Structure 1
Amino acid sequence: MTEERLDRLRVRTPEGVSFTFELASPVTRLAAWAVDKATIIAAWSLLSALIMIVGVLSPDLARGAIQIGFFVLATGYGIACEWLWNGRTLGKRLLHLRVMDERGLPLRFSQVVIRNLLRAIDSLPIAYLVGGGAALLGRKAQRLGDFAAATIVVREPPLARTDLGGLVLAKYNSLRGQQHVAARLRAAISPALAYAALQALWRRDELEDTARVTLFAELAAHFRSLTPLPVEADEGISDEQFVRNVVEVVFGAKPGIAADGGPGPASAAAASGG
């Protein structure tokens, strides 16, 4: 008996916070791949013109460069984009897709390398028939590269302004005056992670002390790693307060609001697709 195909994947952290991801369909992934393929071909046309110039001086070197150049360019494009853009290529950015670890953990560089190296197999015999077939038949729409790297591709609609009901927002937020920092955080933080941080703040009183400290330490460490911070934006601020500050600026909350009676965790889950 085949396993039922999933449209959404629910991830539960060890600290008890769960959130849901919408899995990207093979058709949407194919559209993103078409954009990436066109980008690679355009870049290759420029690079091959340079190789032809080199060929005038050294035909053997030019032939060798042509034989391996396209593979290196195509593979390097995927690795560089997905690592530097947090799991996204140009095509994925346009279609609001992102590569992530299937357990909801931070994406590792080794995973990015593995899934891109195995594109050579997934693309066989033509037009990604092997990878597309695996994605259509698998529960999590994973091609072979995703299976090997333990990754999934999720759809992330643009982060929308939301009501932060239930949170008492501080009158002073160290990030509020740091417009460039706030902009980098909004660009780097995925909607799923932003909603997960919001749910963590909503549910803080439901967590044991140790679990709460651990959860906010991990969230704060990740957010701090996304952009350089001025000393005044981080000095003397607890991990939980830092996460609260990040959530406020990411969702565009107005300063000094004491939000009472707003939506609870269930509303956040609905806003994040489940």
Structure 2
Amino acid sequence: MNEAVGAKTNWGKSYAAQYLAEQNIDEFEGLVILDYKDEFTGLVEEYDDVRRLTIPSGAQNISPEKWAEKVDENPKVQLARTTATTEEFREVAGNVAEALSLWEKTAFVVIDEAHKVAPQSQAPDPLVTLATTWHGDGYGVLWITQRWAEIETTIVAECEASMLGGFRDPNDLGRIEAVEYPPEVHQSISTRVDRAVPEELLVDGEPLTLRRFEDDEGHTIGSEWVYADDTTLRRVDSREWELQSTHYGSDRKRINQPFDDG
């Protein structure tokens, strides 16, 4: 299963992704976090079986076969970009994705800053193939981005589920293919939607846009999202999510959601 997690800067994307990782860490044999901004260290601190490996400049020269060995040795791992450039990290991501094709385990894969790792017309072929072919019934992949319009189109098309927050850029809003509700729900600079909104997305009967909640100092303490898949549409409030770890900064296997029963 591929799931998109998208919203503008400071909406709480990495918090949402870290919470989803916690919800799924025991559901898969492997956890691979391609951590562009090095924000998922809390998982390493909280879970004894999650290792941290850094990605410096030069790591792009590690072959997929070597990565397959590293992942076998560290099946739950944060791959944190340190001195690698965006282009180098993109190559690493492609090699890691190819390595996963050699794996026989199930894996939960988190791809941070997906618009940089798999941008339009520059996404490494193994990442596209991860989204379209390799995952079979054993992979859950989160594609996290603040620039929904800039991710490779094929990857977006393969996302069976999405957790989308507020956006400001018209290009990002235009990329949201919302059949059951108006994309204006995601407009972060408005407060109301002028068109009919499904009952599941209303707030006390009102057609409000998604909201971000702040403390007295202006720090984000929670935000609203729309979760959508083939059978579910709902408005979600991240203030109801409690992380176990510190937050810094299918035939496809289903990705467990914070609102799932049980």
Give yes or no for TM over 0.5.
Answer: no
* TM-score (structure 1 length as normaliser): 0.22
Structure showing greater relative contact order (alpha-carbon pairs closer than 8 Å, 6 or more residues apart):
2
Q: TM-score, normalised by structure 2?
A: 0.22
Q: Which has the larger radius of gyration?
A: 1
Q: Which has the higher strand share?
A: 2
